[in-house]
Amino acid sequence: MIGPLNHVGVAVPDIGKAIDFYRDVLGATDITEPKVLAPQGVTYAFVTLPSGQVELIEPYGETSPILKYLERNPKGGQHHICFEVKDIHEAKATMEARGMRVLNEPRIGAHGTLVIFLHPGDSGGVLIELMETPQAEHE
Ligand SMILES: CC[C@H](C(=O)O)C(=O)SCCNC(=O)CCNC(=O)[C@H](O)C(C)(C)COP(=O)(O)OP(=O)(O)OC[C@H]1O[C@@H](n2cnc3c(N)ncnc32)[C@H](O)[C@@H]1OP(=O)(O)O
Ligand SMILES: [Co+2]
């Protein structure tokens, strides 16, 4: 069911400093400007590499789902991994049928397609995001 590993999510307390690190220390050259995704409570930026992306995420707003994570990990850390699926609704039904707690109804993620998250308690302690492959890549 899962397709390509689309991105590794990294929670950061300061997305500007994180971008500086990826650019100036690690030499990444393809980094987007930070963008707010208010409904998901994050400011995000993508570091695009030949093999995939690192998604830098900083909390946005008082109810951001990553606030508690950063309270536990003030320096930030590896937060989630995201796999692509062909059909998010089918994936959600399959995950539920297999006993996974799906944390949300499909909603628009940073790549503009529908995403869901699985409870890390059911997936070996790793927060997994499933995102529908962008249409253009289906054709
Ligand atoms: C969608 C935009 C963008 C994109 O790619 O398109 C993103 O990816 S944004 C990513 C941010 N959004 C989310 O993470 C949404 C889903 N996350 C959640 O609903 C919560 O973060 C949740 C439920 C996973 C954890 O919430 P919270 O930390 O408030 O709850 P607890 O403190 O009670 O934690 C419960 C349990 O889970 C463990 N935990 C929490 N976060 C993580 C994590 N990132 N990776 C692994 N495990 C995690 C936590 O330690 C607790 O474990 P326990 O054994 O019960 O103590
Ligand atoms: Co993500």
For residues 133 and 85, what is the distance between their CA atoms, to the nearest angstrom?
A: 6
Tell me: the pLDDT tens digits for 63-115? 999 999 999 999 999 999 999 999 999 999 999 999 999 999 999 999 999 99
Residues 32-54: tens digit of each pLDDT: 999 999 999 999 999 999 999 99
Structure confidence by residue, pLDDT tens digits, 19-32 = 999 999 999 999 99
Per-residue confidence (pLDDT) for residue 85, from 0 to 100: 98
Point out the catalytic residue in the list 55, 58, 129, 132: 129
Per-residue confidence (pLDDT) for residue 137, from 0 to 100 = 58
Task: Report angle CA 4, 58, 47 to the nearest 5 degrees.
Answer: 40
- Give the per-residue pLDDT at 51: 92
Nearest-10 Cα torsion for 13, 14, 18, 24: -140
Cα 52 to middle of ligand 2, angstroms: 12
pLDDT at 139 over 60: no
Residue 10, domain extent: 5-138
What pLDDT was estimated at residue 135?
82
Ligand 1, atom 42: closest residue by C-alpha: 127
pLDDT of residue 3: 96
φ, ψ (nearest 5 deg) of residue 128: -110, 130
Q: Is residue 138 scored above 60 in pLDDT?
A: no
Please report, in angstroms and rounded to a whole number, the separation of the first and last CA atoms in the chain. Answer: 18
| Ligand with the closest atom to the CA of 115 | 1
CA of 54 to the centre of ligand 1 (A): 17
* Tally of domains within the chain: 1
CATH assignment at residue 50: 3.10.180.10
Q: Is 129 a catalytic site residue?
A: yes
Is residue 101 within 8 Å of 122, Cβ to Cβ? yes
